[in-house]
Amino acid sequence: MFLFALYALFVLVVIGIGVFLYILNGMLEKKEVSRSFEMDLFLVAFPRDVKDRELGAEQVREKIALMENFFSSVRIIKDSSWRAFLYGASTLSLELAVSHVGEEIHFYVAVPRKFSASMEKMMQGTFPVAYVERVKDYNIFNPEGAAAACRIVLKKTPLMPVKTYRELPGDPLKEITNSFSKLSREGEGAVFQLNIKPVGRELAMRIVSHVRDVYKGKRSFKDVGRGLDVTREFGEIFSALFSSKNDKKDEMTHRATPKEEEYLKRMEAKASKDLFQVSMRLITSAATTERAEQILDSLEAAFSQFEDPELNSFGFERVTNPSALKKFIYRFSFRVFSEAGSMIMNSEELSSLYHFPNVLLDTPKIKFVKAKEAPPPPDAPREGLLLGYNAYRGTETAIRLPSEDRRRHFYIIGQTGTGKSVFLKNMIRQDIEDGKGLCFIDPHGQEIEEVMGYVPEHRVKDVVYFDPADISRPMGLNMLEYDTRFPEQKTMVVNELFGIFQKLYGGVPESLGPMFEQYFRNATLLVMEDPSTGNTMLEISRVMADKDFRDLKLSHCGNIVVRSFWETIAEKAGGEASLANMVPYITSKFDNFLANEIMRPIIAQEKSAFNFRDIMDNKKILLINLSKGRLGELNSSLLGLIIVGKLLIAALSRTDIPEEIRNDFYVYLDEFQNVTTPSIATILSEARKYRLNLTMAHQFIGQLEENIKKAVFGNVGSMAAFRVGSEDAEFLEKQLAPVFMASDLVNVDNFSCYVKLLIKGKTATPFSVRTYPPNPFNREYIEKMKEYSRLTFGRPRDEIEHEIMQSFARM
- pLDDT tens track for 683-734: 788 878 899 999 999 999 999 988 889 989 988 999 999 999 999 999 999 9
CA-to-CA dists, residue 88 to 242, 268, 339, 502, angstroms: 21, 28, 11, 81
More confident residue, 808 or 78: 808
User: Nearest CA to 115 among 82, 85, 75?
Assistant: 75
Does the CA dihedral 9-12-18-23 come out positive or negative?
A: negative
Please write the tens of the pLDDT for every residue from 738-779: 899 898 999 999 999 999 999 998 999 999 999 999 888 888
pLDDT at 792: 93
Mean pLDDT (whole number) for 522-535: 91
Task: Please name which of 418, 388, 421, 400 lies closest in space to residue 695, comparing C-alpha atoms.
Answer: 421
pLDDT tens profile 83-104: 555 555 689 999 999 999 988 9
**Strand, coil or helix: what is 529?**
helix
Number of H helices, E strands in the chain: 32, 22
Residue 233's pLDDT band (boundaries 50, 70, 90)?
A: very low
Tell me the per-residue pLDDT of 600-651, one tens digit each, with 9 for 90 and over.
Answer: 999 999 999 999 999 999 999 999 999 988 888 889 999 999 999 999 999 9
Query: Could you tell me which of 755, 781, 91, 774 has the C-alpha nearest to residue 399?
Result: 755
Model confidence at 207, pLDDT cuts 50, 70, 90, reads confident
Of 438, 407, 414, nearest to 718 by C-alpha is 407
Q: Give mean pLDDT, residues 500-528.
A: 83
**pLDDT for res 235:** 42
The domain segmentation of the chain, as residue ranges, is: 30-353, 370-475+614-804, 478-607
Please give the Cα distance from 589 to 612 (Å, whole number). Answer: 26
630 phi and psi angles, rounded to 5 deg: -100, -30
Q: Are 467 and 785 in contact (CB under 8 A)?
A: no
Tallying the residues shown for the chain, one arrives at 811
Q: What is the mean pLDDT of the chain?
A: 86
- Cα dihedral 214/220/221/226 (nearest 10): -120
Question: Does an H or E element contain 385, and which?
Answer: strand 385-392
Task: Please state, for a pLDDT cut of 70, what percent of the chain lies above it.
Answer: 87
Residue 14, amino acid:
V
For domain 370-475+614-804, the question of CATH label 3.40.50.300 is answered with yes
The candidate with the shortest Cα–Cα distance to 615, out of 604, 606, 624, 625, is 624
pLDDT band at 55 (very low <50, low <70, confident <90, very high): confident
Asked if pLDDT for residue 8 goes beyond 70, the answer is: no
Distance CA 316, CA 274 (A): 25
655 pLDDT higher than 70: yes
Within 55-183, strands assigned E span 92-98, 106-112, 131-135, 146-154
> Could you give the 3-state DSSP secondary structure of residue 403?
helix
More confident residue, 244 or 371: 371
Whether 577 shows a pLDDT value over 70: the answer reads no
What confidence score (pLDDT) does residue 12 get? 67
